[in-house]
A and B are shown apart, each in its own frame.
Chain A
Amino acid sequence: RKEVEQDPGPFNVPEGATVAFNCTYSNSASQSFFWYRQDCRKEPKLLMSVYSSGNEDGRFTAQLNRASQYISLLIRDSKLSDSATYLCVVTRQGGYNKLIFGAGTRLAVHP
């Protein structure tokens, strides 16, 4: 079983739709949590960090449930430019900061 599991996707949604991505992690020692965005044939870019209290950045809302080891990302009012792969990422406490990625969920927003 992979340490970080994500919805397989792809998600095909019309512009303006609300879409939610889910992610679970298996290691309770996981310390920090992130969503990265990766465009086709490009490098991953940090979208947002995820906190237990939940956090919002414009149209994007991220939630963390430590008890259930579950992370979510909600995108409201989807834009064509949101089309990308969304990667769920955790790190573990230790001497170095190793990012552990899920396989990603692809989002395609159509007109």
Chain B
Amino acid sequence: ETGVTQSPTHLIKTRGQQVTLRCSSQSGHNTVSWYQQALGQGPQFIFQYYREEENGRGNFPPRFSGLQFPNYSSELNVNALELDDSALYLCASSLGTGETQYFGPGTRLLVL
């Protein structure tokens, strides 16, 4: 196992609601990246956090936001949920911004 944990494992929400997903990075890792994986697709980069600051962002709207805490754990928040937000959300931690990323088991979100 990678030592990266995510919670919850599964979540069901309705359109318009808000959701917070959590990620605990591997010990010693200061960088967390978030990805969205729709069914049948590869993961798509949402954003990366390095030492509590956003360090890069993919092509996702502002209703996707994040946070990194002093212990390097991280949250992904999605506001105004849409049906297309249904996906597996993966976080990955790394020793630094250019180092190998280790993925957590993901949170499966279903928006009805």
The interface of chain A, by Cβ under 8 A from chain B, is 4, 42-46, 87, 89, 94-104
Contact call A99/B35, Cβ cutoff below 8 A: yes
What mask results when residues 7 to 45 of chain B are scored 1 for a CB within 8 Å of chain A, else 0?
A: 000000000000000000000000001010000111111
Question: Is B3 in contact with chain A by the CB < 8 A criterion?
Answer: no
Contact call A46/B33, Cβ cutoff below 8 A: no
Question: Is B99 in contact with chain A by the CB < 8 A criterion?
Answer: yes
With A44-B43, A46-B100, A103-B40 in contact, do A94 and B105 touch (Cβ < 8 Å)? no
B9 CB, min distance to chain A CBs, angstroms: 10
Contact call B44/A43, Cβ cutoff below 8 A: no
Contact call A102/B104, Cβ cutoff below 8 A: no
Contact call A103/B42, Cβ cutoff below 8 A: yes
Contact call B56/A95, Cβ cutoff below 8 A: yes
Contact call A99/B105, Cβ cutoff below 8 A: no
Question: Is B90 in contact with chain A by the CB < 8 A criterion?
Answer: yes
| Residue among A97, A100, A101 with most chain B CB within 10 A | A97
Which B-chain residue is minimally distant from A49 (CB atoms)? B100
B100 CB, min distance to chain A CBs, angstroms: 7
Contact call B90/A95, Cβ cutoff below 8 A: no
Question: Is B101 in contact with chain A by the CB < 8 A criterion?
Answer: yes
What mask results when residues 46 to 65 of chain B are scored 1 for a CB within 8 Å of chain A, else 0?
A: 00101000011010000000
Choose one: A4, A97, A101, A104; the contact of B99 (CB below 8 Å): A97
